[in-house]
Every structure is written in C-alpha cells, then in structure tokens.
C-alpha cells in the first residue's frame, strides 16, 4: 500500500534528503494524485504525467494502528495519516518520530525515507516514505 521498494542499497539517509514523492499530474484538468494512476480520478483522462510532489504538508486526519500487518509488528502501534501537501495534494502515509499522544490535526510534517523491514533469507530491504514533524 504505502510501502514500495527503491533500488538503492545504501545511502538511504542521503536519499531521504533528496527524494521527492513521485505522483501524477493530469494534463487535462490539472489534478495531482499520489500514487500516479493511469486514469485521472477527476476527469477520466489518460494524459497523466509524472510529477514531483512537495515534501511538506500538514496532517488532515490520522488513525493509530494497534494491529499491524505481518512483518510490521515491530512498529506497533503506528500512526497512519492523511497529509495535505503544500500544493493541496492529499497523500496517505505513516507518521514517524512522534508519539501518538503528540499528534495534532493541522500539524506540519515533512516526508522522509525510512527502512521498514528486512525480509527473510533474501535479506531484501524495503524502504517507505513516512512523515515526521517539522522541527
Ligand atoms: Zn483530470
């Protein structure tokens, strides 16, 4: 869902500073979406271009997950939120570096990339975007 793999085995902290959310932009109606889709959910156009979305936004609403999917138990409880980015695009993601009791709707956050799990014998490492409070 919100986790996806990046083909970069190291330097992920550096990556975090440079990476942007890769969304889609509808050339027909101007709607921005994340993740990128083949058909615009607003107007049905297929003229979708890749676009970099802003890293910063604010928390619109959130939920605290007490029963995570397999492989994410270590992070229990974790917080999922809908973030409205600076350009108005809404994205769904996990909050990090914050206690559930500290979250407030409207608080400002920025995207970061975090290692989320190391799976089995392959040793594969997955990364995910998350949002952390602005300092
Ligand atoms: Zn559209």
Ligand 1 centroid – CA 128 distance (Å): 27
Q: Which domain holds residue 90?
A: 55-133
Residue 73 included in any domain: yes
Q: How many domains does the chain have?
A: 1
- Would you give the DSSP letter of residue 81? E
Whether 39 is covered by a domain: the verdict is no
Tens-place pLDDT, residues 86-102: 999 999 899 999 988 89
Long-range own/partner contacts, residues 30-39 (CB < 8 A, 24 or more apart): 32/87, 32/88, 32/89, 33/89, 34/89, 34/90, 34/91
How sure is the predictor about 21, in pLDDT bands with cuts at 50, 70 and 90? confident
In a domain, 122, yes or no: yes
In this prediction, residue 16 has a pLDDT band, given cuts at 50, 70 and 90, of very low
Provide mean pLDDT across the span 6-29.
Answer: 66
What's residue 8's pLDDT? Answer: 46
Phi, psi of 58 (to 5 degrees): -135, 155
88 within some domain: yes
Kindly give the distance from the C-alpha atom of residue 44 to the centroid of ligand 1, in angstroms, as a whole number: 6
- Is 115 within a domain? yes
DSSP 15: H
pTM: predicted TM-score of the whole model, two decimal places:
0.73
Q: Using the mean position of ligand 1's atoms as its centre, give its distance from the Cα of residue 59 in Å.
A: 25
61-75 exposure pattern, b = at least 16 Cβ within 10 A, e = fewer: ebeebeeeeeebeee
- The answer to whether position 9 is within a domain reads no
Domain assignment present for 31: no
Stretch 31-53: mean pLDDT:
93
Alpha helices, DSSP H, located in 1-135: 12-18
Confirm whether 117 is domain-assigned: yes
11 torsion bin: left (phi>0), alpha (psi -120 to 50), beta (else):
left
122 CA → ligand 1 middle, Å: 41
- Domain of 86: which CATH number? 2.40.50
CA-angle at 30, arms to 106 and 131, nearest 5°: 30
Going from the Cα of 12 to the center of ligand 1, the distance in angstroms, rounded, reads: 34
């Amino acid at each position: 869902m919100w986790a996806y793999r990046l083909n970069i085995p190291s330097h992920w902290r550096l990556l975090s500073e440079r990476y942007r959310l890769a969304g889609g932009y509808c050339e027909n109606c101007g709607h921005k979406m994340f993740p990128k889709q083949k058909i615009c959910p607003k107007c049905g156009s297929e003229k979708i271009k890749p676009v970099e979305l802003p890293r910063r936004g604010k928390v619109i609403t959130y939920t605290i997950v007490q029963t995570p999917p397999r492989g994410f138990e270590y992070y229990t409880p974790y917080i999922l939120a809908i973030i409205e980015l600076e350009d108005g695009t809404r994205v769904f993601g996990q909050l990090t570096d914050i206690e559930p009791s500290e979250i407030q709707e409207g608080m400002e956050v920025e995207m970061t990339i975090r290692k989320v799990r190391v799976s089995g014998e392959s040793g594969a490492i997955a990364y995910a975007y998350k949002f952390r409070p602005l300092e």
